[in-house]
Chains A and B, each alone.
Chain A
């Protein structure tokens, strides 16, 4: 028995959630919100255009780090939420590997990226593929999946680094392929930070 992603996606999609007066949605142990994809992609596009070329790498790392820190705390909230414990945990038989499979099923159910695990070498390396992700909208001519990079590194931190909250940034993630640059899918490689 291992985590079956279609079961997770279907069950999570059925959960009814409502926003508060402040527009925040308390669910999965965290506060989430719902904003159009164009909002996030336009933000990324404009900030990248505004930065001089010599500082572009620095900005890209900052965008990835935003997602990394967010993913680390949000990911911890998700895997400790009542929803995750009731839907995913009964199927967990392979420890951290199954928690990660469950986390990417949640990632898919939320509509962030239809993504999953290609390969895990426990504590060393993970390869992720995404066949549909909001950051690939448009054809900017460069790889733009900063969110998936940050969150994937964060998930691996949660799975294999020191216990929360002391394990962040043990791992990093690079984007090897991207739909936004003409590849058939996005591919992401998580590995240990030097």
Chain B
């Protein structure tokens, strides 16, 4: 049986996916639990607070529309791509400079979720 890896090791693997600039784990309250990579123009605390704000809005939408909890939330802008995926009771946030590699990031990230989720 393999030893369970810690969150830092898993986040480093996710950071190796082509296109990913930074990988952040944010608590539902906006607390930045862990981050790896280059934040570039982003302030970490602001990323955490913004993600919590969006999460609250999304959860309200799910309730209003009576739909299941979201699995992936992607924001595509001209100069940034932000992808959020629930991991346990937290959110995995991937920051990229654009959405050119979104498909690859989405595909690759999926395999890390089962390993990461029990840690949060």
**Interface SS, A side:** mixed
CA distance A6 to B27 in the complex (A): 12
Whether B33 pairs with A4 at a CB distance below 8 angstroms is no
Q: Is B59's beta carbon under 8 Å from chain A?
A: yes
For residue A5, CB closer than 8 A to chain B, the reply is: yes
Chain B contacts to A: CB under 8 angstroms: 27-34, 45, 48-49, 52-53, 55-56, 59-60, 88-90, 119-120
- CB-CB under 8 A from A117, the residues of chain B are 27, 29, 31
Majority SS of interface residues in chain B? mixed
Chain B contacts for A3, CB-based, 8 A: 29
Q: Which residues of A contact B31 (CB under 8 A)?
A: 5, 101, 104, 116-117
Chain A nearest CB, measured from B94 CB (Å): 19
Residue of B nearest to A115 (CB): B31
CA distance A190 to B15 in the complex (A): 30
B119 touches A4 (CB 8 A): no
How many positions in chain A have a CB within 8 Å of any CB in the partner chain? 17
Q: List the A side residues contacting B88 at CB < 8 Å.
A: 119
A68 touches B (CB below 8 Å): no
Q: Which residues of B contact A2 (CB under 8 A)?
A: 28-29, 52, 55-56
Show the binding face of A for B, using Cβ within 8 Å: 1-6, 101, 104-105, 116-120, 129, 131, 185
> Hey, which chain A residues are within 8 Å of B45, CB to CB?
6
User: A58 CA to B30 CA in the complex, in Å?
Assistant: 37
- Residues in A with CB closer than 8 Å to B30 are 4-6
Known: A6-B52, A116-B33. 20 other contacts (CB 8 A): A1-B59, A2-B29, A2-B56, A4-B30, A4-B52, A4-B53, A5-B31, A5-B49, A5-B52, A101-B27, A101-B31, A104-B31, A117-B27, A118-B119, A119-B88, A119-B119, A119-B120, A120-B89, A131-B32, A185-B34
